[in-house]
Structure formats: C-alpha cells, structure tokens
Amino acid sequence: MIKRYSTPEMTDVWSDHNKYQKWLDVELAVCEAWAIEGVIPKKSFRNIKKRASFNVKKIEKIEKITKHDVIAFTTNVAEYVGPDSRYIHLGLTSSDVLDTAFSLQLKESGLLIKKELLILINTLKKLSKKYIKTPIMGRSHGIHAEVTTFGLVVANWLDEMIRAKQRLERSISQCSVGKLSGAVGTYSNISKSIETKACKILKLKAADISSQIINRDYYADFFISLGFIATCIERISIQIRHLQRTEVQEVEEGFTKGQKGSSAMPHKRNPILSENLSGIARFVRSNISPAFENIPLWHERDISHSSVERIIAPDSSIAVHFMIRRANSMMSNLKVYKENMIKNIYKTNGIIFSQNILIKLIEKGLTRENSYKIVQDNAHAAWDSGKNFKDLLLIDDRVTKLLKKVEIDSAFNFDNLFIKAKQILNRVLKK
C-alpha cells in the first residue's frame, strides 16, 4: 500500500520483520510441543527459545541463492541457534509455517481494525443521540419524501456498522486457524497432538483437515468482512457528499485553518474526505474476487494463491484501517447546518406532509383511492403554483367537511416523528 493511505500500526503488522517473527513464533510453538512430548530434549528447547532470532537482510541475501524463502529463514535462524537448530522445522513443510503465520497476521490485523471500528461506532452513537430531534428531509429517488431526523440517518449508518463489526469478529474467529500436518496434510512425519499443542500455544484453532495448505475459504471470509466495512463507510461518504452540495448544504466536512479547496477557485470547500473514502472502498471490494479465486487450487496445493495474498492481505488491511480512521475524523468534525435542514424541509410548500393527510381522510371513512386523489390534487397544485399545501387543504370542501383545522394542523408537526425516532434509536443502541 502507498504511504499516503497507510497507518504505521497496520504497516508494521505486514512488515517483513513481523512476518518472519510470526514464522519464528510458529517454529518455536512446534518445538515446544515436541519438547512436551519428549522428542526434543528440554535443554535443547530452552536453548532454541533463548537463542532463536533472525536478520531480515540476511534472509533476503540467502534467498537470492536458495530461491526459497522458508529455507532461507530456517538457515538464518540456525546461525543463531547452533547445533540444536536440527530440531527446528521438525516434521513440517513450508506451508505449515507460512499459512499458520499468515493466520496470525490476519488475526493481528483484524484486531487492529476492530479497535478502530469501535471508536467509529462510538462516534456514530454520539452523533445519533445528539441529532435525534433534528429534522431533516428524507429523500427517495433523490426527491423529497418525508421528514426524518439526522439522528436517525446516523443511526442507520451505525446499525450497519455494528453488523460490519460482527462480521469482522466472525471472520477473525474463522481465519484464526493453524495447520501443522506436513506435506499434503497427512501427518506423515508429525502427529495431530503436536499440531493441537502448538496451535494452542499460538492461540489458534487447529484445522480439522487440510491439504498441504489451509483451505482458502477461511481467508476469503476475512476479505469479505473488510469489503463490508469499506462499503459501509462509502455509504456514509456518498450521503455526506450529497448533503454538502451547494444546493443542499445540510452538512459539511470540517475545513481546517490554512486548507485550500481549489487551485483556481479560492471559494471552494470540497467534500474531499468522503470522495477519497468512496474511491478506496472500490479498491477494497476489488480484492474480494481474487480472494475467492484463491480457493480452487490444483490438487493438494499450488502457489498461485501466495502471490495474490502478498498483495491483497496487506493492502486491504492497511486501506480499511486507514478508511476507518479517516471516517472517524470526518464524522467527529462534521458541521451540521440545522437551519438549512429546516429550510429544505419547507422548500416544497408543505407537500411532504401529504401522507399524514391521506391517512386522516382514510380514517374518516373515505376510500384510499378517493383520499389519494384529493391529497394529490392539492399537493400538485401547491407544487405547480408555489402556494402553501396546507392553505389549499383549508379551502378544499372535500377536506374541510371531514377534517377540522386542528386536525389538519396536527398533520404538519414533528411530535410523532420525534417519539418514534427515539424508539428506533434505542433499539439500535441496545445492540
């Protein structure tokens, strides 16, 4: 991932140093399991644990000769350990180390993402509560529909983000799996008990069955969860982009001191954060497809998946970590223009209260068809003429013979909306 969209914590997870450290963690866990079962002398294991180390540059130098990364790694570790290094990698094949370590990296990555996600969720909770009684125009097809509240708009994002977190948690659990069953997964030179003990040390589940590799459906699930997170953030971003349009101007991204919006037009304050997040979301989703294509490999394994994972695992993890952090900053500094929200609500002369009148007429005994026609006649007249919808209703005999003025007036307030909004928000906050 390019530096521009990287976070230091997640970059560290996918660094060469951390990768090799995870490889070493796997090798040491297997050695410990062998020592518990008495195959490796305890003295030898203590020496291995004490002395085992590696040098990234040295590994790279050895790999240029061996053309094999794991052999280069074990060769370098042996230089630190000495004669007891003969016990390292005992009964293993390369994929045992690579895949189990990869699971550890995905787990570490997922937990970092979850930490940031919880911060964003908390920000959305605060916003939804703060604006639960702030009316805003609800839109369908981009057209004014009925009034909602900005708190409910945010609560909808919040509810989706909570589900995204739950998917992430399930995917972390899914991919926290280790495989230490040797070449083609038959335990020919290692036992299930060693695998179980080593995975327990690593805080992973041992796979019930594997080929030479861990089945890639475990990992595809993780990339799907990242895609959901990215898409949830994009949903928020798209709506902010719309609401910041000059013609709407109901919310606006924060604009810091010294910030410039355009090289040509000094007046511009553009929704660059949300636009940026929309773009990165496309990239994250695009990595789901190759994660699926990694599942059907030749026979017990080939290595076509490994080159893909070297790209999509760090890039998707880093991108999503960055997205969540940026989204939280954007929402924390969001400007909300309540006055413009109210102004836009009444921009259509009150016709957005049409359903309230429709229901009141139906309750008086009119058929739905007749009620609909009466309300539509007045709503279209108000829209076409620029006259007030309520005023037209008050001079329409078809309406006034059934509804008193106080009944008509009651259809044009937000009292019921605020009650219902609070109830809806409480359901979301309980999750």
**Beta-bridge partners for 336:** 251
**Beta-bridge partners for 252:** 335
| DSSP, res 141 | T
Which listed residue (53, 193, 262, 332) is catalytic?
262
- Helix, strand or coil for residue 14? coil
Going through 281-334 in order, the beta strands assigned E by DSSP cover none
Told to judge if 267 belongs to the known catalytic residues of this protein, a careful annotator would answer no
**Integer Cα distance of 115 and 166 in angstroms:** 13
Residue 73 contacts residue 54 (beta carbons within 8 Å): yes
**Integer Cα distance of 77 and 55 in angstroms:** 8
| DSSP, res 89 | T
- At 303, give phi and psi (nearest 5°): -115, 20
Note the maximum CA span of the chain: 102
**Integer Cα distance of 142 and 354 in angstroms:** 18
Any idea what the Cα angle at residue 100 is, between residues 96 and 105, rounded to 5°? 145
The first and second tokens of residue 159, run together, are 């509810």
Told to judge if 17 belongs to the known catalytic residues of this protein, a careful annotator would answer no
Which listed residue (141, 263, 267, 299) is catalytic?
141
**Integer Cα distance of 266 and 241 in angstroms:** 20
Length of the chain: 431
Of 226, 283, 224, 23, nearest to 109 by C-alpha is 226
As separate numbers, helices (DSSP H) first and strands (DSSP E) second, the chain gives 19, 6
Of 111, 117, 141, 326, nearest to 228 by C-alpha is 117
- At 236, give phi and psi (nearest 5°): -60, -45
Annotated active-site positions, please?
141, 262
